[in-house]
Amino acid sequence: MRNEPATLTHVGYRAPATRPLTTRSRVTNGKTLFAEGGDMRAPWSRRLRDILDLHLADIGGVDHASEAERSILRRAATLTVELERLEARFAEGPSSNKDLETYQRTSNTLRRLLESVGLKRRPRDITPPRIEDLLVEGDAP
pLDDT, tens digit, for every residue of 1-43?
444 444 434 334 445 567 676 666 656 656 666 545 666 778 8
Under the banding of pLDDT at 50, 70 and 90, the label for residue 114 is: very high
Predicted pLDDT of residue 32: 61
Specify the DSSP class assigned to residue 129: P
Q: What is the DSSP string of 84-122?
A: HHHHHHHHHS---HHHHHHHHHHHHHHHHHHHHTT----
The rounded distance, in Å, linking the Cα atoms of 51 and 56 is 9
Averaged confidence pLDDT in the chain: 78
Burial class (CB in 10 A: 0-12, 13-18, 19+), 76: buried
Domain boundaries of the chain, sorted by first residue: 1-31, 34-119
- Which residues 6+ apart lie within 8 Å of 23 measured at CB? none
Higher pLDDT, 55 or 137: 55
